[in-house]
Every structure is written in structure tokens, then in C-alpha cells.
Amino acid sequence: MATKSIPYQSFCWVIGTTSFRTAKLNLKIEEQLLLLEEFYKTVSNKSAWNWNNTLQEEYYDFMKERGFLYGDAGRKDKDAREKTSGLVDIGLITPDRLITDAGKELLNIAREGTFDTNNFFNLDSDSFVYLKQLLKTTINVNNNIVRPFLVTLKSLLELDFLTYDEFTYFIPLINDRESAEEIIESIRLYRQEKITLEDVIYERLIVMENYQEALSEFIDHPVDEELICLIGMNRKSRNYDKPYYRLYENIKKIFLDSGDDYEALLNSAKSINQKPGTLWRSLLFRTTNISVIRKNGKSSISPECPFLNCSSEKELKEIFFKYLHVFKAMATLSDYFDLNRRYFNITDTLIFEDQLIKLDMLPKYFFKEIMDDLYVEAFTRCDTLTQSIPLTEISSAFDVDINKIYQVLSADLGIAIKSSEQAATYVNDERYRRFSALIDKKFNDSVLIELLNCFEKRDDKRIEELVTDEAAIPTIFEYVLGIIWYKVSERKGNILDFMKLSLEANLLPKTHAAGGYADIIYEYEACTSYPKHSLLLEATLADGTNQRRMEMEPVSRHLGDYRIRFNNPFDYSLFVSTYLDKNVVSDFRYRKIIPYTRDEEAITGMKIISMDTDSLKKIIENKINYSYLYEVFDKYHEMDLDPLQTLNWHEDLLREATGEYKA
């Protein structure tokens, strides 16, 4: 047939680029903004700033010098573009990579490390910026404008929740009001098993002109390799579709020409790479075990195989065309899931948990109240994407009487909520309940001990599997220590208040570019075992010389500043690490007599206890509680100082604290 071309056209939306997949997305965004700001200052002629290949290569080298990336990219300019393109999508930088007003708002938060909540949603200030930006973010899908976050909110409110599969394969297909209605209805039917996932995807594809043209060409012409490559509409190169010709030929031989070479059919399906190949093999066969297929022949074909009842080549072609493109689309959509999830996740309004996606409580009630008005803008371009503006300037729908939302919230929950303070209290109580349930489900004692072992070995991959890949390993160490100490303290107090960490909506940790005050500040009310006091838990994974340089001064300073501020002589610090340097142990011991001064104020008698993770594991195993530990810590702190006995003193302290013996 004559050489022809049928163009590929986008059929779904994605935020960011699959060329730059990143965990810890909020941290990477903050770091990129800080890097771009610093890089801009190094450019001599700022008035002639031009984001061309030369400048892109320079920025790549700059990122590498600052430790943001490693290795050597084949094309530095392309790598620099990819690593910043997501920030363009959500309006934090311009296409020329200059920081926008919205980007500056986030940059100031990241630089100062001030993440305080000051909005109706009870979100950290950085998450609130992300929410505003995602509400404005628009994507062009084959000349249709859609705001992905808005249509996702609409779908969640209509359907109450989305499964991961529904979010992956259905929601990104929404690109106009009509398709939104159809997709939401299709999800309802899908849940009732009245429609298949493949049918829904194909219905969205076949309404597009290029797919209609490709199907027509396929039906009207004899099949050869060139035709298969034409109708495949591969985005990169039509040559990638050559293996489908062999697959088609084998399908035709088996299901239309009564052939019996099932091994050849399997091999042709295996020649299709990655997810589409897996889907084809599952469509055709009960099993991919070659021995079983050789033995069972025809009975190894899946009873649900759609080619079984083909009576003509036209019918076979139609089925082949459908699954050729549906499986390609599923691979693309599956590829996009992680990006979309990570970008939506940084708003902290959605909970991704147990393969389900739900709106967090306050966002759910708020958006439910305004969605009819807000949805009008779901398929319009937002002209304020790069601006730092309040919600009411993003859309007039946000100019809502909050009391209406509180009334609905009160009626549904059966409690009186009349102010933002009462709402925040309820939300925090609910988060505390969810966090306690999360600990029971995800962090039993054996998991906590495994995690401590992983921290000691620095098995980072396993740590991320057990907790999250959205936080740096040191942050996860602090988070795990907080959970351990909450259980050691017999779950007294609100650990979510005590942990000075940023948590996602699913209550797992995330990392910011700026550090905090002290890692965890646990507050204890007076009881028969101890007076009212605060415990500053300081965690580090640093070792050796690093530990001496990084921890001796900050730990003492944190406690000294805290003691001066709150004037309670019973406040003290517990320093926990996977490894304890002898000099660090000695230094902290002698803080008992070393004065600490700040400005005109001074204190003496700081109490800093050092403990390694090996001791922490024994405390978990022996179910030691905090009342006992406080008495041990206090007993050893009050002992006389003896320079020659410091190490023995510390070893005895740990033995008694871990329950190895009770003096």
C-alpha cells in the first residue's frame, strides 16, 4: 500500500513528565526552587536570560555540583528541561524557568521552614499553595482544555471514592464535560460488573478521528507489516510495532484458519514488550507455561479469549485493533498513575490508602458545598496559574459562607461545629484516631524492630517499602522513633502534636528542604512516677566524626534554648542513633555541669541521655514502659561524675534501661 501516516494524538492527561519520576516530590520541588533562585544569581547578564540549550547545560552542571543529581546525562540540556518541566505545569516557574509569584510564595515557606496551618482546610502552608496551584493547573488533551484536579474532585464527590484502577484507567480519560459524565457513569457500571475496563477505554479511543481512520485502513486493506505499523500509530517510531504483525498472523492462523501451533502464538505474544505483552498473553492463554501449552494445546487458550468465536477476518481485525490500542493505552495510563498520584498527594487533601482514594474530611465537605459552581471552570484555562492569589480570586465559587459547611458537618457528625477552631479540633482528634489505627495496622513491634535493623544496615529500599518513599530516610527515622516512643509511653498524649514533622494526608512523613527545631518534643503531665516535663527526642543516622560535628552542638543548643524558654528544670533530651560515638556520650554526660548561655540568660544541669537503636530494640522486645525508663534515666543522671567511669556508667545505664537487669 502507498506510504501514509496517521498521527498519534493524546487521549489522556498527565501532570509532569515520565522522564522525571521522583519520590519526595514536595522536597524536590522546594530544592529546585532554591536551586533556580541561586542559579539565577550566578548568571551575569540577567536581562538577557534565555533558557536555551547552553543555559540548560549550565543548569544541569549546577544541579550536579549542588548534589541534586548524580551520574552523567547523555544530553544535559534535555535532562535539565525534564527535571523542571513539572514546575512549569503547575505554575511555579515560567517556561523560561523563571520563578513565578506562586513559586516565590512556596519558596519563602520552604526557605523559612514555616509550615503553619492558617486556612480552612487545616493544611500546612506549603500544601495549601500546592492545592491552589493544582486547582488552577490545566492540560491540553487533543485541543480540549481540562483541569485534572478539578475533575478528580468532581468524580470523588459523585462516587465517594476511587479505586487505584479507576483513578489510573478512567479519570485521566476525562477531557470535557461530556466525557466526564460518561466516565463517571461507566465507573458505576464497572463496579456493578456490567462493563469491562477495556470497553470503557476503547469507547474513549474510538471516538477520536485518528483511531477511526486507522480502523478503516485496517479493515479495508490486506494485512502486512507496513499496515500494522501504520495503524499502530506509535508515538516514537512505527518500527516499534513490527512484532504485532507476527502476533496478528498467529492469531489468524489459530482462530480463523484452524491452525494448532499454540507455541508460535505464545512466542509471538512474548515478543510484545512490557505491559502490553503481559496483557496480550493474559488475553490469549490460561497459562504461559510452555510445557503446559505443548501438552494441552487448544485447551490452554483462555475460555474468555475474544477471538474464539470469530467467523470472519473483518471481525478478527476489529477485535485485534481494539486490544492493540486498549493495551497500549493501559500501559500509558499505568505509566502516568504514579506521577498523577504524587502531584495530587502534595495537596494533602486526598487520602491514598488501601488501594483507595478518598477526600479528607474538611476538603470533602468544602468542595461538596461549592462544586456545582466550581465545576463550571473545570474545562476552562486558568489565566492566574503563575500568580500568588487567594482562593476567592481563583474562582468566585470559593466566596462561600463557611457557616453553611459547618452546619452540614455538624448535622452529619452529630456534634456542634460553629467555628474554624472547633473544626480544627475535631479534625485533629480524627487524625489522632486514624494515626493510632495506622500504628496498629502498619507498625507492630516486629515491624518496628525490622525497621531499626534496616536503619542500622541502611537498607533504604526496605525502609521505603515498609513506610514511604515520600520522605528522606533521616525523616523516616524520626517518624519511627516517635511511634516507638508513643508505644513506650503507653500511648499517652497526642503524638501528632509532639512530632515536629510534616505528615501527608495519609499520616505518613514527608521531608522539607528546611529543618525544624527539635525532632520530637514529647510532653508528660505529672504523675506518681515523674514530674511534669518535656522530653526532646533527637534522632540521627550520622556516625563517627560526622556525629561529633553534627550533633554535639545542636542537641545541647536545642535543650538549652528550650530550658531557657520554658524554665522547667525537669525538661531533658534523649539522643538516639544507630551508632554512638564515645566522645558524644561523654560530652552529653558532662552537660550536667557545663553552663549554657543565650544572650543574658544561663542554665546549668542539662540532662542528655544517649541511646543506640540496639538498646531501643531491647526496650521494644522487653516491653519496657516510660515510667520505668524515667526512673532509670534520672537515677543515672544524678550519679556523681567520674571521668574514668563514663563509658561503664553508660553501659550500666543501657543494661538497666533495657531490662537486662534491674538494680
Q: What is the pLDDT of residues 426-449, one digit of tens each?
A: 888 889 999 999 999 999 999 999
Mean of pLDDT values over 379-387:
96
In this structure, are residues 310 and 255 in contact, taking their beta carbons and an 8 Å threshold?
A: yes
Mean of pLDDT values over 508-520:
73
Give the residue from 137, 159, 192 where a domain finishes.
Answer: 137
Residues whose CB is less than 8 angstroms from the CB of residue 150 and which lie 6 or more positions away in sequence, other chains included? 135, 374, 375, 377, 378
Q: Is 373 a member of any domain? A: no
Q: Judge if 115 and 236 occupy the same domain.
A: no
Q: Is 347 a member of any domain? A: no
C-alpha cell at 250: 498467529
Burial-class residue 474 by CB neighbours within 10 Å (0-12, 13-18, 19+).
middle
Q: Judge if 209 and 112 occupy the same domain.
A: no
Q: Judge if 332 and 468 occupy the same domain.
A: no
Q: Judge if 98 and 225 occupy the same domain.
A: no
Count up the domains in the chain and report the number.
3
Could you list the residue range(s) of the whole structural domain that residue 251 is in? 204-336
Q: Is 409 a member of any domain? A: no
Q: Is 175's pLDDT higher than 50? A: yes
Give the residue from 336, 370, 385 where a domain finishes.
Answer: 336
Q: Is 518's pLDDT higher than 60? A: no
Q: Is 650 a member of any domain? A: yes
C-alpha cell at 411: 448535622
77-124 tens-digit pLDDT: 999 998 999 999 999 999 999 999 999 999 999 888 777 777 888 888
Least-confidence region, from 29-33, 45-49, 220-224: 45-49
Q: Judge if 459 and 570 occupy the same domain.
A: yes
* Residue in the block written with cell 523563571: 98
Quick check: helix, strand or coil at residue 303? coil
Residues 551, 584: Cα–Cα separation, whole Å: 8
Q: Judge if 528 and 650 occupy the same domain.
A: yes
CA dihedral (30, 34, 35, 40) in degrees, to 10, reads 140
> What is the per-residue pLDDT for 605?
86
Whichever domain contains 631, its CATH number is: 3.40.91.50
Burial-class residue 542 by CB neighbours within 10 Å (0-12, 13-18, 19+).
middle
Q: Judge if 320 and 224 occupy the same domain.
A: yes
> What is the per-residue pLDDT for 46?
78
- Residue closest to 618 by CA, chosen among 573, 661, 559: 661
Give the residue from 336, 367, 401 where a domain finishes.
Answer: 336
Q: Judge if 129 and 209 occupy the same domain.
A: no
Q: Judge if 99 and 209 occupy the same domain.
A: no
> What is the per-residue pLDDT for 486?
96
Q: Is 405 a member of any domain? A: no
Q: Is 652 a member of any domain? A: yes
In this structure, are residues 541 and 455 in contact, taking their beta carbons and an 8 Å threshold?
A: yes
Q: Judge if 320 and 242 occupy the same domain.
A: yes
> What is the per-residue pLDDT for 1?
45
Q: Is 661's pLDDT higher than 70? A: no
> What is the per-residue pLDDT for 545?
55
Beta-sheet pairing, 572-577 with 533-540: parallel
Quick check: helix, strand or coil at residue 94? coil
- Residue closest to 344 by CA, chosen among 205, 506, 113, 565: 506
Q: Is 535 a member of any domain? A: yes
- Residue closest to 12 by CA, chosen among 190, 199, 171: 171
pTM, two decimals, is 0.90
Task: Identify the H or E element spanning 553.
Answer: helix 544-566
Q: What is the DSSP letter of 172?
A: G
Q: Judge if 132 and 209 occupy the same domain.
A: no
Task: Identify the H or E element spanning 313.
Answer: helix 313-345
Q: Is 383's pLDDT higher than 80? A: yes
Q: Is 597's pLDDT higher than 50? A: yes
Q: Is 99 left (phi over 0), alpha (psi -120 to 50) or beta?
A: beta
Burial-class residue 414 by CB neighbours within 10 Å (0-12, 13-18, 19+).
exposed
> What is the per-residue pLDDT for 662?
52
Q: Is 89 a member of any domain? A: yes
Q: Judge if 532 and 629 occupy the same domain.
A: yes
